[in-house]
Amino acid sequence: MKLGIVGLPNVGKSTLFNSLTKAGAESANYPFCTIDPNVGVVTVPDARLGVLTEMYQSKRTIPAVVEFVDIAGLVKGASQGEGLGNQFLSHIRETDAIVHVVRCFDDANIIHVDGSVDPIRDIETINLELIFADMETVERRIAKVGRAASFDKAQAKECEMLKKIKELLENGKKACEFETDDEDEIGWLRGYSLLTRKPVIYAANVSDDDIADDGANNEYVAKVREFAKEEGSEVFVISARLEEEISELEEDERKEFLTEMGLEEAGLEKLIRASYHLLGLISFLTTGPDETRAWTITRGMKAPQAAGKIHTDFERGFIRAEVVAYDDLVSCGGMLQAKEKGLVRSEGKEYVVKDGDVILFRFNV
């Protein structure tokens, strides 16, 4: 999973990136301090892996990972090259979803690029730049396929679809509002990597005082939640400054600090949970003496395709999957005991993998 972190300058974007990845991206109180997109890879916290590793005395443990890309602060006119220009918009095209950091705190000492705090205005500023960038992509594609549309039915069909999307964008709407069940159109859309079709998670960045109650009394957060609800996006409340402090602590100190602050989890866990939910992702597990590992798949994926995540040969030569739920495996104390109790199932090609399934794939190539 690859997430692009965007936002206006000085909203806490790079501070959040630092705390999530400990990658040390430069953070300062002025626009454009992030000159290049910073990339950091973090592991997905999953307590189940530790339990299985201990149970099987696995030689190594491999969690799922998330790649974060910190994009330089966008400003009004970025799609036409203002600020650091649309070079950074191209980096967002490579991501699965966009994490949009929105400032939801007042602080006279931290400059806002527009002179005042207004999260909805900030969201609309970024969205408009993404719309402009998509419009450029669509217009280029129309120019290309339009030349052959008069004698090629497929390209004529694509051109018609592009014109509908262009009309949406011209009306200030996102490309995600274009809905289709047509397989051709779905394939073309995937190839364009339009920015405004990507799922969005809003990170409402609040002061330390507002984090304990999850921003319940913060009017800025309330506005962001209402906006996100209307477009079907996710929101999580975070204090980027506090997260940076937490990231410097050892594991035991971190738990103690979170408890003192009245928090159940750190921001990374919040963000990953929101990302998995938004993108429809789950994890299945494999375990044994050599390795315990988490594999990220799309919810609804069937056993052969899940096996293919491990190796293409597993999918090609799939015979069956021996499946046990994580909780059942742990309560029994091992696979043998779970089998004796009839909790290990033999599943075929139509089995839909569930989150927390511990699976042994049988295959023959």
pTM of the entire structure?
A: 0.81
pLDDT along the chain (365 residues), means of 10: 85 82 54 57 89 95 87 58 54 86 84 78 90 91 87 91 95 93 92 92 90 90 95 89 85 85 82 87 95 95 96 94 96 93 95 96 91
Contact 94, 29 (CB under 8 A): no
pLDDT of residue 10: 79
**Could you give the CA distance from residue 52 to residue 283 in angstroms, rounded to a whole number?**
14
Give me the amino acid identity at 49: L
Return the residue matching tokens 């992030």.
Answer: 34
For 336-342, the CB contacts below 8 A with 24+ separation are none
Contact present, 291 and 58 (Cβ < 8 Å): yes
pLDDT of residue 111: 62
3-state SS, residue 2: strand
Under 8 Å CB-to-CB from 325, ≥6 apart: which residues? 343, 354, 356, 357, 358
CA distance 269 to 44: 8
Q: What string of H, E and C letters represents the secondary structure of 337-359?
A: HHHHCCCCEEECCCCECCCCEEE
* DSSP 3-state percent helix, strand, coil across the chain (nearest 5): 45, 20, 35
Task: Tell me the two tokens of residue 2.
Answer: 């690859």
Q: Find tokens 């402090």 and name the residue.
A: 245
The predicted pLDDT at position 356 comes to 95
Q: What is the pLDDT of residue 34?
A: 44
What pLDDT does residue 354 have?
97
Tokens coding 78 = 């970025």
Q: What are phi and psi of 121, to 5 degrees?
A: -60, -40
The pLDDT assigned to 205 comes to 92
Give the pLDDT confidence score for residue 31 in this predicted structure: 43
Rounded Cα distance between 205 and 271, Å, is: 12
Of 353, 289, 334, 354, which Cα lies nearest the Cα of 344? 334
What would the pLDDT profile of 59-90 be if each residue is shown by its tens digit? 999 998 888 888 765 556 555 554 444 555 67
Quick one: tokens of 320?
Answer: 């069956």
* pLDDT score at 75: 56
Beta bridge partners of 40: 68
| pLDDT for the residue 257 | 87
